[in-house]
Amino acid sequence: MKIAVCVKHVPTSENVQIDENNNLVRDTAESDTNPCDLNAMEFALQLKQQTEGTIDVYSMGPDIALASLKKCLAIGADQTYLISGRKFAGGDTLGTARVLAKAIEDNGPYDVIFTGNESSDGGTGQVGPMIAEILSMPDVSETVSIEAKDDKTLEIRKNVGDGNLVLKVKTPVLVTVPFGCNEPTLPTLRTQRKANRAEIPVIDESMVDLDENLIGKPGALSIVTTVSSASAGRTAEELVGSFEEIAARMDELVEEGRA
């Protein structure tokens, strides 16, 4: 099977900077791979093994996203692409989905496309289903396991609250994957070293044939008007003092049902 995975490089620090247009300053933020994208990558690896397939990984973002792509190479991706360009910047989820879908379509066709359920910085959960819509394929969310039945059919278990639905799905299909549903493979020193040396192709704006008014800032249908940090509020309390005092206070908090 020919498999594509979309991976986002996200800030991990609480001290993120926001520019005057309420956009995250991604170049300076402490960052790492969006956690559930690694779960998506893990399912891709399982399918690759089952079907002797290949995995291409796409990430749209600035150069620091190369770190995530190198990690994916070290884990077992065959090829990775950085999608990067000024005209892609400042877009909303639809603009992002359009660019990703176009790049995937240009290198496709793919049998399965994986994305994480949502990004830890944006948290909309929209990009995966939008890509499926643009590429006219079905999408399955909340995936908890995946198995290839033959080269055109997958059996996917999907979580529906109290239980799992078992679906037989014809490819091509887009699958979104929640955090924690599997244990992502780790890179090793050996594979990471090899990946660090890899040349990663960049797909820039000249290579993505899309109307400029549909992507980036001009194409955005939604804009972020304000950004505020989620306040820990009155429930947060720093525990200070000796070990005994801290332990006693923790005990009280547990008693009060606050911890």
Partner 1 sequence: MEKKKIAIIGGGIAGAALGFNLSLYDDADITLYEKNRIGCGTTAKSAGTVCLFDDSLKNRYWDVRLYGFETYLKMEKEKPGSAGFDKTGTLVCATDEEVEKTIKAGIALAKSAGYTGEYITDKARIKEILPSLNVDSILGAGYTQDDGYFDGTMISNTFAEKMEANGACIKRGVEVVKINTEGGVAKSVETSEGEKVDFDVIVDCTGPWSRFTGELVGLDVPIWHTKAEAFFLVPPEKKLDYVFPVLKFPAFYALRAGDNVFICKSHLSMNLDDPMHAGQWDPDKLPQVGGTDDYFIDFLFDQMEENVPGLADSGLASSWLSYRAEPRDFLPILGETPVENYFLCTGFGGNGVIEAPAATRDMAKLIMRGESTMLLEEWAFSRLIEEA
Q: Which residues in this chain contact partner 1 in the complex, by CB under 8 A?
A: 12-13, 30, 32, 74, 185-190, 192-193, 196, 240, 242-243
Q: C-beta of 35: minimal distance to partner 1 in Å?
A: 13
Residue number, 230 or 240, with CB nearest to partner 1: 240
Q: C-beta of 236: minimal distance to partner 1 in Å?
A: 15
Q: C-beta of 114: minimal distance to partner 1 in Å?
A: 21
Q: C-beta of 78: minimal distance to partner 1 in Å?
A: 20
CB atoms within 10 A of CB 4: 28
d(CA 141, CA 136): 16
CB atoms within 10 A of CB 95: 26
Nearest Cα residue to 38 out of 188, 181, 202: 181
Q: C-beta of 247: minimal distance to partner 1 in Å?
A: 12
Residue number, 103 or 195, with CB nearest to partner 1: 195
Nearest Cα residue to 158 out of 173, 172, 145: 145
Q: Which amino acid does the sequence have at 197?
A: R
Residue number, 217 or 249, with CB nearest to partner 1: 249
Give Cβ neighbours of residue 224 (< 8 Å, ≥ 6 apart).
22, 23
CB atoms within 10 A of CB 244: 8
For β-strands 54-60 and 79-83, DSSP reports them as parallel
DSSP, res 151: T
Q: Which amino acid does the sequence have at 238?
A: E
Residue in the block written with tokens 């402490």: 30
Residue number, 152 or 193, with CB nearest to partner 1: 193
Q: C-beta of 194: minimal distance to partner 1 in Å?
A: 10
Backbone angles phi, psi at 146, to 5 degrees: -150, 140
Residue number, 13 or 124, with CB nearest to partner 1: 13
Residue number, 13 or 21, with CB nearest to partner 1: 13
Q: Which two tokens stand for residue 129?
A: 């289903």
Q: C-beta of 196: minimal distance to partner 1 in Å?
A: 4
Nearest Cα residue to 76 out of 95, 99, 48: 48
169 membership: H or E segment, kind and range: strand 164-170
Residue number, 54 or 192, with CB nearest to partner 1: 192
